[in-house]
Amino acid sequence: MKAILLAGGKGTRLRPLTIHTPKPIVPIFDRPFLHYQLDRLKQVPEIDEVILSLNYQPRRIEEIFGDGGDSGLGIRYVVEPAPLGTGGAVRYAGESVRESVVVFNGDVLTEIDLAAVIRLHRERKAKATIVLTPVDNPSAYGLVETDASGNILRFLEKPKPEEISCNTINAGIYVLEPDTFDRIPRDVPWSIERSFFPSLIERGETFMAYVDRGYWIDIGTPEKYMQVHRDIMDGRYHAAPFANGGSSTWISPQARVEDGVVVEGPCFIDAGVVVKGGARIGPYSVVGRHCWIEEHAVLDNAIVWPNTRISQEAVVRGSILGRNCHVGRSALVEGGVVLGDKSVITDYSRL
């Protein structure tokens, strides 16, 4: 069985972090995000190959994952000649697929039981099965309505309050039959959500919903990207190095934390980090490899990518810093600031 990961987007909502780092490889702690999706696919032994549908900076992704040997899954790369949309990408990547295929949107983190989704798809002999997830605020999303037997009835795009009839949204995970791909035009942008799925309803084909009430998040905004780290540290999503409970503070044995540093968990300090005396690493902070945190600097609910320096008495709070940044002495960065790679904040500046 094959899986297609739709990982060709430019990650515009995460800019400037994604200018030099494609969204599939933004770090979650010390691992590229795509590793977490591959871990989920590995739970289905019959999936023997993952097709990565790429468009934006594909070489950066291929350099990290290679042929998939390290992940335990075979990986094949398909690079779109131009952005083809979700439907066009599925057709382009799935040209040689002859069996049911699992499709994942490239920004979804979930603990879905994929084997159960595939089992439902086969039991109902469906042409397509879509995973749905319930949300607290249905008015903010496009909704997917089903009948009592789990058949998809219709899609409601950003409904008015009086039109809301359910609270389930598309979770970006599908099982599809490749004999339906011929209705997707070749080499033109095409939406799986707005064009392909409605065609199944119009033709009266078996189109099933699998409603999953477990953990699900789209990491595609800075707010959600920060939330993923909090959720893992709090145990709402189970992943290393916080998967087994235990200490809520994780400090690499290869990090150097000097005497007089205050570390308040939960937090994460990666290999090669140096934290100088008098500094404070506050709750929900993530310090990437080879960062240098100088005397009396403060990190609080901040994510700092590798090779960044936080100077003496500087404060970074509630913000995300890309790679190779420099925050000057006594500078203040707070309130949801997002800095791209190689940003320089001069001494005493306030952001």
Domain end (from 222, 239, 266) = 222
Structure tokens at 323: 């790679």
Whole-number pLDDT of residue 324: 97
Grade residue 185 by pLDDT with cuts at 50, 70 and 90. Answer: confident
Structure tokens at 226: 């920060």
pTM, two decimals, is 0.90
Alpha-carbon gap, residue 221 to 210, rounded angstroms: 26
Whether 306 and 320 have beta carbons less than 8 Å apart is answered as no
For residue range 197-238, what is the model confidence (pLDDT) as tens digits? 988 998 999 999 999 999 999 898 999 999 999 999 998 998
State the DSSP H helix or E strand holding residue 78, giving kind and residue range, or none if neither: strand 74-79
Whole-number pLDDT of residue 246: 52
Residue 308: CATH number of its domain: 2.160.10.10
Within-domain flag for 237: no
Q: How far apart are the first and last CA of the chain?
A: 50
| Residue-range definition of the domain harbouring residue 22 | 2-222
Whether 71 and 65 have beta carbons less than 8 Å apart is answered as yes
Alpha-carbon gap, residue 302 to 337, rounded angstroms: 10
Within-domain flag for 239: no
Within-domain flag for 8: yes
Residue 154: CATH number of its domain: 3.90.550.10
DSSP string, 135-197: -S-GGGS-EEEE-TTSBEEEEESS--GGG----EEEEEEEEE-GGGGGGSPTTS---IIIIIH
State whether 194 and 260 are in the same domain: no
State whether 214 and 114 are in the same domain: yes
Domain end (from 168, 188, 222) = 222
Whole-number pLDDT of residue 245: 59
Provide the number of structural domains found in the chain: 2
Alpha-carbon gap, residue 296 to 314, rounded angstroms: 8
State whether 152 and 279 are in the same domain: no
Within-domain flag for 130: yes
Domain end (from 222, 237, 271) = 222
Whole-number pLDDT of residue 263: 96
Lowest mean pLDDT among 29-38, 179-188, 284-293, 308-317: 179-188
For residue range 224-274, what is the model confidence (pLDDT) as tens digits? 999 999 999 998 998 888 877 556 899 999 999 999 999 998 999 999 999
